[in-house]
Amino acid sequence: MKLFDRKRRSFSTVFGVGLLMLLLVACGNSGTTTTTTSTAPVNGKGCTKVGILLPETASSFRWDGVDRPDLIKDITAALPAGSPAPDYNNAGGSASVQQSQAQADLTKGDCILVVGAYDGAAAAAIVTAAKAKNVPVIAYDRLIQSKQLAYYVSFDNVKVGQLQGQYVADHYQSYVSSGKINTVMIDGAQTDNNALLFKQGAHSALDPLFASGKLKKVYETFTPNWDNNTAQIEMNGALTASQNNVSVAYVANDGMANTVIAALKAKKLNGHVLVTGQDASVPGIQHILAGDQAMTVYKAITKEAQATADLVKALNAGSATSSLTNGATVKTADGTAIPSVLETPVTVDKTNVQSTVIADGFVTLADACKGLPKGTGGICP
């Protein structure tokens, strides 16, 4: 009898434990079911609410003038009909403002973010916050220093600098003379990873000239915020220090080149100094036609925006992106390889203005020639 009671108690204990385990499993399954049936997009799949965040407007016409309308148009077309218009914000040159804008987008339910970072290091916080909500971030034009970044869309920015530096290497002899080989380098903002890549590319072409003594670097500086007025101050300082003996001015973009040329004009040196640029802006093209700027680098922003929209479309559909990136990657500072789409930059000078930026409709002939005398650059009517 005692043996029977012990067996009965043992059976009751086992049965109780088993019942408890079944209840726990049921609860666990219930939780899993709730998660998997959620309608919230995961990693962009099914996402129709996209946030676009661009860095500033002061350094270049491109951000609000070209990137903004192209991105909104192309992303709208990439999403299913009836999707809400993308949210757009510009940070106005402030990393903290951009982070607040990103947080606001995430709070509103934006499930893909396209971020043209004002500060590539600071913007890592945006990627972290987005990742916590399963929101992929596409770094637009400027790399964000985060291993959690989903994609990067830009141009081959080392190539941009190489094009600028190689143009100097190919044409400097028309600007130098005995004892006049001094070169000034006005780089972009150190907080922008692209500026580091432009500098790297430019030096790959210029350093052999410096080493051989064919050119002499007398001044080089980063320009905080890509600020155009600061670039003019920098150029004035370089002219004063060299007693106006400058033959080459490597300038990272057209906005700064515009004020560098203003500094040269004040010394009646415009046209006598080889000035580089980037962005193929209207003022840059006008300076080229007038002979005050030697070259610029044309980056077809329409292609960059379309490549971004193609990634958004693939994320929304949950489809593979390998055909878009074609195996290309760009490494963050910690060595993480980020899947990337890199468009090709093009050198533009007086010889090919018509066949590049004007032929593409990026700059109209009317805008390029506005205010210039008839016949300027051989193309102005």
- 117's CB contacts (< 8 A; 6+ apart) are 55, 98, 123, 126, 139, 142, 143, 144, 192
Whether 221 and 367 map to the same domain: the answer is yes
Q: Give yes or no: residues 243 and 370 share one domain.
A: yes
The answer to whether 348 touches 288, Cβ cutoff 8 Å, is yes
User: Which is it for the CA torsion 251, 92, 310, 362, positive or negative?
Assistant: negative
Task: Compute the average pLDDT of residues 172-199.
Answer: 96
Band (3; pLDDT cuts 50, 70, 90)? very low
pLDDT at residue 41, rounded to an integer: 63
Residue 170, domain member (yes or no): yes
Q: Look at residue 14 and tell me if it is in a domain.
A: no
Structure tokens of 122?
Answer: 């600071």
Domain range enclosing 214: 157-299+347-378
Looking up residue 141, the CATH number of its domain turns out to be 3.40.50.2300
Residue 39: CA count within 13 A, CB half-sphere: 2
235 lies in the same domain as 175: yes
Q: Are residues 89 and 176 in the same domain?
A: no
- At residue 111, the pLDDT reads 98
Q: What is the pLDDT of residues 231-252, one digit of tens each?
A: 999 999 999 999 999 999 999 9
**304 or 17: which carries more pLDDT confidence?**
304
pLDDT of residue 24 exceeding 80, the answer is no
Out of 24-38, 68-82, 257-271, pick the least confident.
Answer: 24-38
Going by C-alpha positions, the residue among 101, 104, 143, 96 that lies closest to residue 122 is 96
Q: Read off the pLDDT of each residue in 246-260 and give the average, rounded to a whole number.
A: 98
Both 211 and 136 in one domain: the answer is no
Residue 191 CB-density burial (10 A; 0-12 exposed, 13-18 middle, 19+ buried): buried
Q: What is the pLDDT of residues 140-165, one digit of tens each?
A: 999 999 999 999 999 999 999 999 99
Q: Would you say residue 38 lies in a domain?
A: no
* 237 and 217 share one domain: yes
133, 164: one domain: no
354 shares its domain with 339: no
What is the pTM (predicted TM-score) of this model? 0.84
- Is residue 328 exposed (0-12), middle (13-18) or buried (19+ Cβ within 10 Å)? middle
Q: Is residue 11 scored above 50 in pLDDT?
A: no
Contact present, 73 and 38 (Cβ < 8 Å): no
Same domain, 184 and 290: yes
pLDDT per position as a tens digit, 45-67: 999 999 999 999 988 889 999 99
268 and 196 assigned to the same domain: yes
Are 310 and 366 in the same domain?
A: no
Give the pLDDT band of residue 35 (cuts 50, 70, 90): very low
Going by pLDDT thresholds of 50, 70 and 90, the confidence category of residue 42 is low
Q: Is 9 part of a structural domain of the chain?
A: no
Q: Evaluate whether residue 230 is within a structural domain.
A: yes
Number of CB atoms found within 10 A of residue 30's CB: 9
Domain-embedded: residue 100: yes
Secondary element (H or E) of residue 250: strand 248-251
* Domain count of the fold of the chain: 2
Examine the domain organization and report whether 217 and 245 are in the same domain: yes
pLDDT over 80 (residue 27): no
Looking at the predicted structure, is the pLDDT value of residue 9 above 90? no
Q: Flag whether 15 is in a domain.
A: no
Helix (H) and strand (E) counts in the chain = 13, 13
Tokens 């959620």 -> residue: 38
Query: 40 lies in a domain?
Result: no
Q: Which two tokens stand for residue 2?
A: 């005692």
% helix / strand / coil in the chain, to the nearest 5?
50, 15, 35
Q: Are the CB atoms for 276 and 249 separated by under 8 Å? A: yes
Q: What's the whole-number average pLDDT of the chain?
A: 91
Decide which of 286 and 3 is more confident: 286
Per-residue pLDDT tens over the stretch 296-313: 999 999 999 999 999 999
At residue 188, the pLDDT reads 98
Long-range contacts of 125-132 (CB under 8 A, 24+ apart): 125/99, 126/53, 126/98, 126/99, 126/102, 129/102, 129/103, 130/102, 130/106
